[in-house]
Amino acid sequence: MVRSVTGLFLLTSLAVFAQAADPPAFEVASIRPGEPGKEVIEQVPGSLSMRHVRLAACIRWAYGLQDYQVSGPAWATDVWFDIWAKAGTPANQAELRRMLQVLLAERFKLVVHRQTKEIPALILTVGKNGHKLQAVETEGSPSFKTGKLSLTGQGATVGQLTEFLSRELRNPVIDQTGLSGRFNYFLDIGSYVTEEMRKSQGPDGGPPPDAAGVVAQAIQAQLGLKLDSKKAPVEMLIIDHVEKAPTEN
């Protein structure tokens, strides 16, 4: 009898473990061909909506990465989709990202692996005279707003700053300031931008070639932070396989 009970307990434990190991998945999801347009990604607890989203951008969002961190087929930036998905629970952003990973694997047969590469990057450190960010004690969601040539952080993190700069400069910006917690800060690069720069544009509609240098000047003067160019190890997501069209809804 003891052996029987022990065996039953072991089987039950294994079943519970197997269920817990199952990756989270959306309860219902719809993927339809989209059209080029302004990318819109909206999320509330338990629900995700994406419109005019390139497949490459969808993959980046699912894994919480920047453009430069994903290596895959060129055509992934030339196909657009509208995606709507709902979870069975009020899942948070991190859970929604994991669910989207599962959805992409199921519907687009996405297979990826991670790899660390040393690539050119911009390293953010504290200047020799110290930083000028105002530390604050705050609760709730941090506020991070951007203007045409400015940004404002209210109770925001340095990570939000580097994430924004990485996206706008199309270059990895790595935080090595050692600054944790939340801060108030304001950055305005308008006075550093020349008329020539305003008229110029980088490859594929990217920032002007001198953009990183201009941002570095503004950050040094206004935030007391340094932005230096050097090679650094960066985690990359390598796409091993992905289908151009998803399986049917």
Tens of pLDDT along 149-186?
889 999 999 998 998 898 888 889 999 999 998 999 99
Q: What are phi and psi of 43, to 5 degrees?
A: -140, 140
Work out the burial of residue 174: count CB atoms within 10 Å of its CB; fewer than 13 is exposed, 13-18 middle, 19 or more buried: middle
What average pLDDT does the segment 118-132 reach? 94
Does residue 57 sit in helix, strand or coil? helix
* Edge-to-edge order in the sheet of strand 111-126: 70-71, 225-241, 111-126, 173-175
Unique residue bearing structure tokens 């911009």: 122
What average pLDDT does the segment 231-244 reach? 94
Instruction: Of 10-24, 49-63, 122-136, give the lowest mean pLDDT range.
Output: 10-24
Whether 60 has a pLDDT exceeding 50, the answer reads: yes
Whether 209 has a pLDDT exceeding 80, the answer reads: no
Q: Which two tokens stand for residue 249?
A: 């809804």
- Return the C-alpha torsion angle 199, 201, 206, 207, nearest 10: -60
Q: Which two tokens stand for residue 117?
A: 């590469």
Identify the pLDDT of residue 11. Answer: 52
What average pLDDT does the segment 67-90 reach? 94
Q: pLDDT-based confidence at 10, cuts 50/70/90?
A: low
DSSP assignment letter at 138: -
- The predicted model scores a pTM of 0.70
Amino acid at 103: L
Q: Which two tokens stand for residue 27?
A: 């309860």
- Number of helices and strands (H, E) in the chain? 6, 12
Identify the pLDDT of residue 13. Answer: 52
Identify the pLDDT of residue 1. Answer: 46
Percent of residues, the chain, with pLDDT higher than 90 = 62
Sketch the domain layout of the chain as residue ranges.
Answer: 14-108, 117-236
What average pLDDT does the segment 19-34 reach? 83
Identify the pLDDT of residue 205. Answer: 59
Cα–Cα distance, 142 to 24 (Å, whole number): 27
What average pLDDT does the segment 126-144 reach? 87
Mean pLDDT for the chain overall: 87
Q: pLDDT-based confidence at 35, cuts 50/70/90?
A: very high
